[in-house]
């Protein structure tokens, strides 16, 4: 009968059982050379590239839990094979940060074992030391730019707080309701300032590079540097409803410094 082999790297091919087993035997060979790639391409009856054929071969070899001699089982478990291809380590063009490094190490250990993972980690370490020495990062207070819309965002938040205070004075809102609404207003304002700040950051801004890569800091801390510190907590852990409107770049007032001394 006919076997439909679909979903592998977007290659759709129709092969009979003999061709299927021939293809599997080819992929089980020790090496996938130029000749075998050409042979595999002819079996698939598609213009698959050498790179695609090599990736299929790698995935088939790594999917040891699949019964490749049984077409029915293979058909049922084709999804597992596709996932093996997608998760296999390959050449990808992307910026590598802390999370991406973790993913690479995890996949390498999962598919290639501890020995190769240890060797890869040594290479990553050497690469990191080399380029951090060559390209080092320095940070200046002038690397952070205060968002142009910050004043408008803070002013709008202040107007909303005034409306909430009036509703509370008329008895429409309880003390707790007033408190929750004011906290929400200032949290939203801080988020808006953070978003505006993020828009103005260049991809090669030193502080953004440190935070975005996962090396040091976070976007919240960048917001405190050049946006606004925002809401602080008192010693009991309750959020103080009066926010710190200034950033470290602008400098804090005496009252804001006192509020900040409690922590965040």
Mark whether 159 and 62 lie in a shared domain: no
Mark whether 26 and 69 lie in a shared domain: yes
Mark whether 21 and 68 lie in a shared domain: yes
Q: At 19, is the pLDDT very low, low, confident or very high (cuts 50, 70, 90)?
A: low
Nearest 5°: the CA angle 24, 29, 35 is 90
Q: Burial letters for 95-122: b for 16+ Cβ neighbours within 10 Å, e otherwise? A: eeeeeeeeebeeebeebeeeeebeebee
pLDDT tens-place string over residues 25-80: 655 554 545 444 444 444 444 445 566 556 555 555 554 444 445 544 444 444 44
Q: Which pTM was predicted?
A: 0.56
Mark whether 244 and 156 lie in a shared domain: yes
Q: At 234, is the pLDDT very low, low, confident or very high (cuts 50, 70, 90)?
A: confident
Distance of CA 157 to the CA centre of its chain: 31
Q: How far from 145 is each of 116, 119, 148, CA to CA, in Å? A: 44, 42, 9
- Cα–Cα nearest to 88, from 121, 54, 49, 65: 54
- Cα–Cα nearest to 56, from 91, 18, 15, 10: 10
Q: How many domains does the chain have?
A: 3
Structure confidence at residue 206 (pLDDT):
86
Mark whether 115 and 130 lie in a shared domain: yes
Q: Using CA atoms, how far apart are residues 117 and 84, in angstroms rounded to an integer? A: 18
Mark whether 253 and 168 lie in a shared domain: yes
Mark whether 199 and 252 lie in a shared domain: yes
Instruction: Give the whole-number percent of the chain exceeding pLDDT 90.
Output: 19
Mark whether 74 and 105 lie in a shared domain: no
Beta-carbon neighbour count of residue 146 at 10 Å? 18
Mark whether 150 and 249 lie in a shared domain: yes
- Final residue in a domain of this structure, among 101, 136, 171: 136
pLDDT tens-place string over residues 144-185: 888 889 999 999 999 999 999 999 999 888 999 999 999 999
Q: At 201, is the pLDDT very low, low, confident or very high (cuts 50, 70, 90)?
A: confident
Structure confidence at residue 85 (pLDDT):
43
- Residue 196, C-beta contacts closer than 8 angstroms, at least 6 positions apart: 147, 148, 149, 150, 153, 227
Which structure tokens are listed for 234? 């008192």
Q: Any idea what the CATH number is for the domain that residue 252 is in? A: 1.10.132.30
Mark whether 76 and 10 lie in a shared domain: yes
Q: Using CA atoms, how far apart are residues 157 and 172, in angstroms rounded to an integer? A: 20
Mark whether 119 and 206 lie in a shared domain: no
Structure confidence at residue 60 (pLDDT):
54
Mark whether 58 and 83 lie in a shared domain: yes
Q: Are 238 and 232 in contact (CB under 8 A)?
A: no
- Domain hosting 170: range is 141-260
């Amino acid at each position: 009968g006919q076997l439909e082999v679909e979903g592998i790297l977007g290659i759709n091919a129709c092969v009979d059982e003999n061709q299927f087993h021939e293809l599997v035997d080819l992929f089980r060979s020790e090496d996938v050379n130029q000749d075998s790639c050409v042979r595999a391409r002819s079996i698939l009856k598609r213009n698959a590239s050498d790179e695609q054929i090599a990736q299929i071969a790698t995935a088939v070899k790594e999917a040891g839990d699949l019964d490749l001699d049984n077409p029915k089982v293979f058909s049922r478990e084709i999804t597992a094979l596709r996932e093996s291809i997608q998760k296999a380590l390959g050449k990808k063009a992307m910026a590598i940060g802390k999370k991406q490094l973790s993913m690479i190490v995890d996949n390498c250990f999962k598919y290639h074992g501890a020995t190769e993972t240890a060797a890869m980690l040594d290479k990553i370490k050497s690469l990191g030391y080399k380029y951090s020495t060559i390209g080092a990062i320095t940070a200046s207070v002038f690397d952070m730019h205060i968002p142009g819309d910050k004043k408008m965002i803070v002013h709008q938040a202040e107007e909303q707080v005034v409306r909430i205070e009036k509703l509370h004075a008329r008895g429409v809102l309880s003390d707790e309701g007033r408190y929750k609404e004011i906290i929400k207003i200032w949290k939203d304002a801080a988020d808006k300032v953070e978003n505006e700040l993020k828009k103005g950051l260049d991809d090669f801004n030193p502080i953004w590079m440190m935070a975005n890569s996962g090396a040091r800091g976070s976007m919240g801390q960048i917001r405190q540097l050049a946006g606004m510190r925002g809401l602080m907590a008192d010693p009991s852990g309750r959020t103080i409803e009066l926010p710190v409107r200034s950033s470290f770049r602008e400098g804090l007032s005496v009252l804001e410094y006192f509020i900040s001394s409690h922590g965040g």
